[in-house]
Amino acid sequence: MLLSVAKALGVDPEEMTASREVLQAHGNMSSPTVLFILNRLRQANAPRPCVAMGFGPGLAAEAALFV
């Protein structure tokens, strides 16, 4: 799923390392997953802006921009 989103949005897959690592370590925790990823990015002093996207069952999608 992450690679599909990266490809569709033209994002370098390397920029999604934090997402991949959190999902690999903890699995999909639903809503808290994005908080774990944001914490990892914060600890790494990742550059901003940051776009967070979440996909739920059916057609649910959420997005936020962190500046």
Confidence of residue 12 (pLDDT cuts 50, 70, 90): very high
pLDDT of residue 39: 94
pLDDT of residue 28: 87
Beta bridge partners of 51: 65
* Number of domains comprising the chain: 1
**Domain with 32 in it: what CATH number?**
3.40.47.10
pLDDT digits (tens, 9 = 90+) for 25-64: 999 888 888 899 999 999 999 998 888 888 777 777 788 8
In 1-67, the DSSP E strands lie at 50-55, 61-66
Q: Which of 40, 43, 48 is nearest to 19 (CA)?
A: 40
Cβ contact 5:19 at 8 Å? no
What global pTM score does this model have? 0.80
Average pLDDT over residues 7-31: 91
Q: Which residue range(s) make up the domain with 18? A: 2-66
pLDDT of residue 26: 95
